[in-house]
Structure 1
Amino acid sequence: MARRGAGRFNAGVTVPALVPEPALCLLNPHAANGRCAALAAPLREALPQVPQVLPDNVDNARQRLQALPEGSRVLVAGGDGTVHQLLPTLVARRLQLALLPGGTGNDLARALGLARLGWQDALAHALRAPASTMDVGEIGTEHTEARLFMSSLTAGFDAAIALRALAAPKWLRGQPRYLWATLREVARLQVYPLQVEADGRLLHDGPLLFASSLNTPTYGSGMPAAPGARIDDGALALLRVGAFGRLGALGMMPLLLAGQHLRHPRVTLSAFQRLRLRAVGALPLAVDGEPLPAAADITVTVRPAALQVVRR
């Protein structure tokens, strides 16, 4: 797939040798509550040689990716939810993901150093930068087959927040959307009796507010939940938050937003390669902000260097 010479697109960017030209531009017109659709025309003008697809559904998008040769570079305009739906195919076909941030949460874009770029700068970078590897996570439960995630698996209270955020008013974007969901979820606050085992070692046996696994430093649209987490270190980060009442849970929010939550004695962050969570009852779950069926027996593993990405 690598070109031996440089090519040029209407975007005004010279593609360096050995950087593959994009084989496909896949745009999710529903991302960011439909705002991402506005990129279709300018991207078509900037990349007249690159086929552009606005898929009707996830299956259609995956079929287009399946048809590409292994190692192809794919421009994806969308957010975390878009990439999450495409992740199994991107990994299986060893495709290079060049992300044009266009979602609501954009935590993957933050981890890749792209979140602050406008679409023109993100496109210019996608056309000239080499790809590198990043890790992904894999979750399995007693109810579901293995499922990949690239940013986070939330389990417990923060998963309940992520699920409630899906029903937030469309005019709410980013962190305000999650704050809206948090305030409503606190009203029905629940703690979860959990046994937590990481890499064969028992870490906890008792009530927790949540026990979530992160690959990116942020989740929930930029909350710095796992500062220092890396997407290429062959490990995931386990964030455990102990039992809190309603006032305590609300008090944690400013600390989490400021990245100061790890100072609290009931909050711990640790690295792992394999995690097992066993709950007394069904535990709310979400992957990359997308809902999963609640489960009581959850296994999480890291898949090192499983995805090719263009990053800064």
Structure 2
Amino acid sequence: MSTLIMINPHAAGGRARRLLLPLDVWLTALGLAQKPDIVMPESLHEAHHAIAKRPQGSMIVVVGGDGTLNQMLPILISGKHVIGLVPYGSGNDCARAWGLHKLSWQDALSFALSGPASAIDVGRIQLNHRDPHYFHSSLAVGFDASVGNRALAGPKFLRGLPRYLLATLRELLHLKNWPLKVQADGHVVHEGNCLLASALNTPTYGGGMPAVPHAMVNDGQLNLLVGGSFNRWQTLLMLPRLLIGKHLGHARIQCVAFTEATLTCPAPVPVAADGETLGFATHIQITLLPGALQVVKKT
């Protein structure tokens, strides 16, 4: 199988760039019969071009985080490639779901090159009926998307959960609820003011927050997490419960499994996929793509 290792030099605040030389030396020392190609594209266009040149069904090892993988999803899915992951991001919720987040880059790379592949689900998003986007971990709408946007602009020395917690506290100062109508598989789940509406494929998001602890990436469904109207004080009180996965029993929190969902809002609401901002939308269509991606994972 043709193998390409793609390092996102901008991942982890630019720290992933330093992996190029040690990674190359490590691969050379393995004495492989066919050494994988290594690229470090400076732009998304260059990254897509590098993958597009590979034969269909190639092994693509992504060195980066949730956002890096998210930006590669369209071409990875269309090329029917097998995906390995070396976690090197700020959130790494995908790596948690794949059982990789505690591995060193050497162990993660070794596993990516030799581990078995299996199919996982992917979510497809259409904003205002335009061209689709995809997510492997989460789609955030409302408060969560605003927090994600602040996390992207946060201090580079912070990673993982602390980065998202700081962004959350900052967003509390500008707290807003949106008049959302949320439908899942043809049924109205919520209609009225809403703090957030997130679709999850992984148990965690936001750098490790167990938003849907029972979620699985290969169970043929997505999970819709809807938070009704919350003020600042109520939101602040909810955070500790979210951090330990005890929020699902709250009267204003709903969690519904689905394969097709529609969210509408009279005013543009912020949207983010896998921590990457998608801007604002008034109509959001979410569709499950079961088993759409072949990945090398432990769990």
TM-score range (shorter-chain normalised) is over 0.9
Task: Name the SS of the counterpart of 1:300 in structure 2.
Answer: strand
Q: 2:267 maps to which residue?
A: 281
1:36 partnered with 2:16: yes
Q: Distance in 2 between matches of 1:142 and 1:296?
A: 6
Q: Distance in 1 between matches of 2:201 and 2:293?
A: 13
Q: Distance in 1 between matches of 2:111 and 2:265?
A: 44
Amino acid at match of 1:78: G
Task: Name the SS of the counterpart of 1:122 in structure 2.
Answer: helix
Cα deviation per residue 1:99-142 (whole Å; 9 max; x = unaligned)?
A: 01111110100110000111111122112211100010011121
User: Do the aligned partners of 1:237 and 1:272 also contact (CA within 8 Å) in 2?
Assistant: yes
Q: 1:163 maps to which residue?
A: 149
Question: Which TM-score applies when normalising by structure 2?
Answer: 0.95
Q: Distance in 2 between matches of 1:86 and 1:232?
A: 20
Q: Distance in 2 between matches of 1:100 and 1:293?
A: 28
Task: Name the SS of the counterpart of 1:306 in structure 2.
Answer: strand
1:223-238 mapped onto 2 (5 Å cutoff): 223-238=209-224
1:116 partnered with 2:96: no
Amino acid at match of 2:225: L
Cα offset, 1:43, TM superposition: 1.3
**Structure 1 residue ranges, 4+ long, deviating more than 2 angstroms after superposition:** none
1:154-193 mapped onto 2 (5 Å cutoff): 154-193=140-179
1:156-305 mapped onto 2 (5 Å cutoff): 156-305=142-291
1:105-144 mapped onto 2 (5 Å cutoff): 105-142=91-128, 144=130
Aligned Cα root-mean-square deviation (Å): 1.1
Cα offset, 1:37, TM superposition: 1.8
Q: 1:52 maps to which residue?
A: 38
Cα offset, 1:311, TM superposition: 0.3
Cα offset, 1:248, TM superposition: 0.5
User: Do the aligned partners of 1:157 and 1:189 also contact (CA within 8 Å) in 2?
Assistant: yes
Cα offset, 1:143, TM superposition: 6.4
Q: 2:32 maps to which residue?
A: none
Amino acid at match of 1:31: A
1:147 partnered with 2:133: yes
Amino acid at match of 1:45: V
User: Do the aligned partners of 2:263 and 2:285 also contact (CA within 8 Å) in 1?
Assistant: yes
Cα deviation per residue 1:71-97 (whole Å; 9 max; x = unaligned)?
A: 111111110111011111110001111
How many residues were matched structurally?
292
Cα offset, 1:46, TM superposition: 2.2
Q: 2:68 maps to which residue?
A: 82
Gaps of at least 5 residues in structure 1 are 2-21
Amino acid at match of 1:236: L
Amino acid at match of 1:115: H
User: Do the aligned partners of 1:214 and 1:226 also contact (CA within 8 Å) in 2?
Assistant: yes
Amino acid at match of 2:239: M
Q: Distance in 1 between matches of 2:42 and 2:153?
A: 22
Amino acid at match of 1:276: T
1:11-22 mapped onto 2 (5 Å cutoff): none
Cα offset, 1:167, TM superposition: 1.3
Cα offset, 1:223, TM superposition: 0.5
Task: Name the SS of the counterpart of 1:263 in structure 2.
Answer: coil
Task: Name the SS of the counterpart of 2:112 in structure 1.
Answer: helix
Q: Percent of counterpart pairs with the same letter?
A: 49
1:23 partnered with 2:9: no
Cα offset, 1:38, TM superposition: 2.2
Cα offset, 1:47, TM superposition: 2.0
1:98 partnered with 2:98: no
User: Do the aligned partners of 1:143 and 1:295 also contact (CA within 8 Å) in 2?
Assistant: no
